[in-house]
Amino acid sequence: MVAHHAGNDSSCDGVARIPMSMNSDNRPSSSHRHWHLELADVGLLDYWRALVSQRWLIFGIALAGLLLALVITLLMPEKYRATSTLQIERDSLNVVNVDNLMPVESPQDRDFYQTQYQLLQSRSLARAVIREAKLDKEPAFKDQVDEALEKAAAKNPEAGKSVDSRQAIIERSLTDTLLDGLVVEPILNSRLVYVHYDSQDPVLSAKIANTYAKMFIISTQERRMKASSFATTFLAERLEQLRGKVEDSEKSLVAYSTDEQIVSVGDDKPSLPAQNLTDLNALLASAQDVRIKAEAAWRQAESGDVMSLPQVLSSPLIQSLRAQQVQLTSEYQQKLSTFKPDYPEMQRLNAQIEESRRQINGEVINVRQSLKATYDASVHQEQLLNERIAGLRNNELDLQGRSIRYNMLKRDVDTNRQLYDALLQRYKEIGVAGNIGANNVTIVDTADVPTSKTSPKLKLNLALGLIFGVFLGLAVALVRYFLRVNGQETRFN
């Protein structure tokens, strides 16, 4: 611990004397040799006494910092800040799709807005502002423009003679200067952004800030129009190519179907042979049913009791003849007990009985022949249908073989047609959206001519200068104090 002694032990400059303990050989003791290591143990009271003893030095340095800040502030050029406010939406309103009338936040919003802020500070936009605001005519930039033109002419006498080359030189010389005065300030948790511009001329600041807002909207529209124009041109070329493919594929399909005699009846309908085959199969089933019934009737008529056939039992003529035969037979038997068989009356009855029997047999024969004819006709009909079905089946199989190539050509036509229709629809949508010309950037507030300067800020600069001077004074005072203490130690040694 550093000890301060009153009276004669204090120096006239207020620096405390450091007593030293000596050995018998007049050399400093080991505890004093480690004085620098023990300096870290100096108390706050010792620091306070050191600062109080150097108070006028601290005051002088602080005053010097204050005066230096004042001089620097007075030498700084006055600048005025004009501010325009823009609203930047994630996407423009899509009036052709009601589902997208209200933009929805997405994870890509941060990247999108950072891109917009960088575009606001891009060199291409700065050059557009220079051209639009005619900054080369402004007195604030005239000297810089003249100097740039002179340097360009010195390097190349032909430079700056044409309008385009002169404009390029002007834009190159003013771009960095223009960007130095631009400040883009996004407003937190909103889609708004401030576009500030600082310059020594308040009117020029407002002009440039408003021109920046205007040209940013125009550049955004131009980028959208270029993208739309590129997409339109690309789609138009693709549509022309697909139109040719559709025509070629349709021609190939028609030529092949003509050569192979293939008739299309629709994608969801079977071919003509298949349709006919379906119809004939139904007819065949019906014919087989008829043939089975006719065959059963004929087999019964051929081998069984003819009189029990349904056709015989249901025949009115046969039943009438049978009733007449029964009546005549009954009358004949009654009279047989009275008359002999060769009696004329008996012969007449017998002749009538034989006639009715003959007529019945004739009708039965007709029924049998009818059943045979029906059976033969059903068999023939079934054979014809089988032959026709076999022919159609062969035709269908042949058609299926020939339809392989046809189906491939048909798929090519359908695919090309679908691609063409999809691109045509997209082409129309892009055309409609491009004609609407909606923009996602709008001006909320235009920049007014500022009435008060924004820099230099005298009070802030003076406060900073005073703070800097005070801390510098404190540091110098402490260093000076401890250096003087070290000097006294050296003298004692």
Read off the pLDDT of residues 274-330 as tens digits, 9 standing for 90 and up. 667 777 778 878 888 888 877 777 776 667 666 656 666 566 766 776 677 677 777
Q: Are residues 466 and 425 in the same domain?
A: no
In three-state secondary structure terms, 28 is strand
Within-domain flag for 349: yes
pLDDT given for residue 5 in this prediction? 37
pLDDT given for residue 437 in this prediction? 52
Q: Are residues 89 and 201 in the same domain?
A: yes
Res. 41: pLDDT tops 70: no
How many whole angstroms separate alpha carbon 86 and alpha carbon 442? 6
Q: Are residues 307 and 424 in the same domain?
A: yes
For residue 59, what are the domain limits?
7-75+456-492
Within-domain flag for 407: yes
Candidate from 268-272, 371-375, 448-452 with smallest mean pLDDT: 268-272
Within-domain flag for 264: no
One DSSP character per residue, 362-378 reads HHHHHHHHHHHHHHHHH
The set of residues, in sequence order, having a beta carbon less than 8 Å from that of 202 and lying 6+ positions away, is 80, 82, 449, 450, 451
pLDDT given for residue 17 in this prediction? 39
Q: How confident is the model at residue 31 (pLDDT cuts 50, 70, 90)?
A: very low
**Residue 197 half-sphere exposure toward CB, CA atoms < 13 A:** 28
Last residue of a domain, one of 187, 210, 235: 235
The set of residues, in sequence order, having a beta carbon less than 8 Å from that of 85 and lying 6+ positions away, is 192, 193, 194, 195, 443, 444, 445
Which is higher by pLDDT, 133 or 267?
Answer: 133
Candidate from 11-25, 349-363, 442-456 with smallest mean pLDDT: 11-25
Within-domain flag for 253: no
Burial 405-442 (b: 16+ CB within 10 A, else e): ebeebbebbeebeebbeebeeebeebeebbeeeeebbe
- Percent of residues, the chain, with pLDDT higher than 90: 13
Reading the block at residue 398, the tokens are 């042949």
Within-domain flag for 258: no
Candidate from 64-68, 194-198, 291-295, 378-382 with smallest mean pLDDT: 291-295
Which is higher by pLDDT, 259 or 189?
Answer: 189
Q: What are the tens digits of pLDDT across the range 119-152? A: 999 999 999 999 998 888 888 888 888 888 888 7
Question: Alpha-carbon dihedral of residues 188, 194, 195, 199, nearest 10 degrees?
Answer: -110
Best mean pLDDT range from 10-14, 77-81, 210-214, 404-408: 210-214
Q: Are residues 191 and 326 in the same domain?
A: no
Average pLDDT over residues 3-23: 39
| Amino acid symbol at 40 | A
* Long-range contacts of 223-228, Cβ-Cβ distance < 8 Å, separation of 24 or more: 224/92, 224/439, 225/434, 228/430, 228/433, 228/434
Beta carbons of 119 and 164 less than 8 angstroms apart: no
Res. 11: pLDDT tops 70: no
Within-domain flag for 441: no
Reading the block at residue 293, the tokens are 């019934």
- Report the 10 Å Cβ neighbour count for 135: 24
Within-domain flag for 255: no
Q: Are residues 86 and 217 in the same domain?
A: yes
In sign, the C-alpha dihedral spanning 114, 120, 125, 127 is negative
- Angle value at C-alpha 365, between 359 and 371, nearest 5 degrees: 140
> Is beta strand 441-445 parallel, antiparallel or unpaired with respect to 80-88?
antiparallel
Q: How confident is the model at residue 212 (pLDDT cuts 50, 70, 90)?
A: very high
pLDDT given for residue 157 in this prediction? 73
Q: Are residues 364 and 333 in the same domain?
A: yes
pLDDT given for residue 486 in this prediction? 63
Q: Are residues 101 and 168 in the same domain?
A: yes
Beta carbons of 430 and 232 less than 8 angstroms apart: yes
Q: Are residues 298 and 353 in the same domain?
A: yes
Q: Are residues 61 and 120 in the same domain?
A: no
When divided into structural domains, the chain yields a total of 3
Q: Are residues 283 and 431 in the same domain?
A: yes
pLDDT given for residue 136 in this prediction? 85
Strands of 111-162, DSSP E: none
Candidate from 316-330, 343-357, 449-463 with smallest mean pLDDT: 316-330
CA distances to 117, 209, 409 from 204, in Å: 22, 8, 70
Average pLDDT over residues 324-351: 75
pLDDT given for residue 84 in this prediction? 94
Burial 158-173 (b: 16+ CB within 10 A, else e): ebbeeeeebeebbbeb
The pLDDT mean for the chain works out to 75
pLDDT given for residue 99 in this prediction? 45
DSSP state, residue 190: S
Which is higher by pLDDT, 33 or 270?
Answer: 270
Res. 66: pLDDT tops 70: yes
- Residue of 29, 42, 34, 30 lying closest to 3 (CA atoms): 42
Question: What is the reported pTM?
Answer: 0.51
- Residue of 41, 45, 29 lying closest to 492 (CA atoms): 29
Candidate from 139-143, 168-172, 257-261 with smallest mean pLDDT: 257-261
Best mean pLDDT range from 78-82, 235-239, 268-272, 283-287: 78-82
Last residue of a domain, one of 219, 235, 251: 235
Res. 20: pLDDT tops 50: no
Last residue of a domain, one of 183, 212, 235: 235
Chain-centroid distance of CA 424 in Å reads 19
Q: Are residues 329 and 463 in the same domain?
A: no
Within-domain flag for 105: yes
Q: Are residues 50 and 94 in the same domain?
A: no
Beta carbons of 219 and 204 less than 8 angstroms apart: no
pLDDT given for residue 129 in this prediction? 93
- Percent of residues, the chain, with pLDDT higher than 70: 73
Q: How confident is the model at residue 213 (pLDDT cuts 50, 70, 90)?
A: very high
How many whole angstroms separate alpha carbon 297 and alpha carbon 301? 6
Which is higher by pLDDT, 389 or 11?
Answer: 389
How many whole angstroms separate alpha carbon 184 and alpha carbon 209? 11
Q: Is 466 exposed, middle or buried (0-12, 13-18, 19+ CB in 10 A)?
A: middle
CA distances to 81, 150, 181 from 450, in Å: 6, 34, 15
Which is higher by pLDDT, 117 or 437?
Answer: 117
Q: What are the tens digits of pLDDT across the range 97-120? A: 444 444 455 555 778 889 999 999
In three-state secondary structure terms, 238 is helix
How many whole angstroms separate alpha carbon 473 and alpha carbon 55? 9
The set of residues, in sequence order, having a beta carbon less than 8 Å from that of 218 and lying 6+ positions away, is 128
Average pLDDT over residues 46-51: 73
Chain-centroid distance of CA 420 in Å reads 21
